[in-house]
């Protein structure tokens, strides 16, 4: 049985309730989301997967991916972070997460070209969150004609 989906508007309301009514900060939610993503990734990885690529967007979903990257590095995994919009495109809380990763010496790039095509790697998509739904012309991967 799959998880039920919610709309963008419903997710905005969940965030509002968490922050304004329950007093749970965005950064704390990001830490928990990233920790759980890292746990799931580590659980799904097999011993042969020597590389983890985290593709992170500029918003809070990207920040959660950066937390996951930090956790995985702490657990001994080889992680590279891909920031398609670059560090300057990050919002303030994800930028703070990036600074923590930089302090650990994690490989960070802006280019998909550095991603190796090997079956022994895992890609974590932390690029698109519910904010992406507000934009209708976003494409991560160039299309060929």
Residue 132: predicted pLDDT: 63
User: Measured between alpha carbons, how far is 137 from 29 in angstroms, rounded to an integer?
Assistant: 28
Average pLDDT score over residue span 65-78: 95
User: Measured between alpha carbons, how far is 59 from 40 in angstroms, rounded to an integer?
Assistant: 21
Residue 129: predicted pLDDT: 80
Q: Is the pLDDT of residue 140 over 90?
A: no
Query: Could you tell me if residue 133 is inside a domain?
Result: no
State the residue range of the domain holding 84. 8-128
Query: Could you tell me if residue 88 is inside a domain?
Result: yes
Query: Could you tell me if residue 144 is inside a domain?
Result: no
List, for residues 21-68, the tens digit of each pLDDT value: 999 999 999 999 999 999 999 998 876 667 899 999 999 999 999 999
Percentage, residues of the chain above pLDDT 70: 83
Query: Could you tell me if residue 134 is inside a domain?
Result: no
Model-level pTM? 0.83
Q: Cα-atom radius of gyration of the chain, to the nearest Å?
A: 16
CA distances from 47 to 53, 65, 69, 119 (A): 16, 21, 18, 12
Q: What is the dihedral of CA 130, 109, 86, 132, to 10 degrees?
A: -10
Residue 73: predicted pLDDT: 95
Residue 116: predicted pLDDT: 67
Residue 110 binned pLDDT confidence (cut-offs 50, 70, 90)? very high
Query: Could you tell me if residue 106 is inside a domain?
Result: yes
Residue 143: predicted pLDDT: 39
CATH classification at residue 90: 3.40.50.10260
User: Measured between alpha carbons, how far is 35 from 111 in angstroms, rounded to an integer?
Assistant: 25
């Amino acid at each position: 049985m799959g998880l039920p989906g919610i709309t963008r508007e419903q997710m905005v309301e969940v965030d509002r309730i968490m922050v304004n009514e329950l007093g749970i900060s965005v950064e704390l939610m990001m830490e928990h989301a990233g920790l759980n993503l890292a746990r799931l990734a580590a659980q799904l990885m097999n011993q042969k997967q020597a590389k983890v690529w985290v593709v992170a967007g500029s918003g809070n979903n990207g920040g959660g991916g950066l937390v996951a990257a930090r956790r995985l590095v702490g657990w001994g995994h080889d992680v590279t972070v891909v920031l398609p919009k670059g560090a300057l495109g990050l919002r303030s809380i994800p930028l703070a997460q990036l600074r923590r990763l930089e302090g650990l010496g994690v490989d960070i790039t802006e280019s998909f070209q550095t991603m190796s095509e090997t079956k022994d790697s895992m890609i974590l998509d932390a690029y698109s969150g519910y904010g992406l739904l507000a934009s209708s012309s976003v494409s991560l991967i160039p299309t060929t004609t």
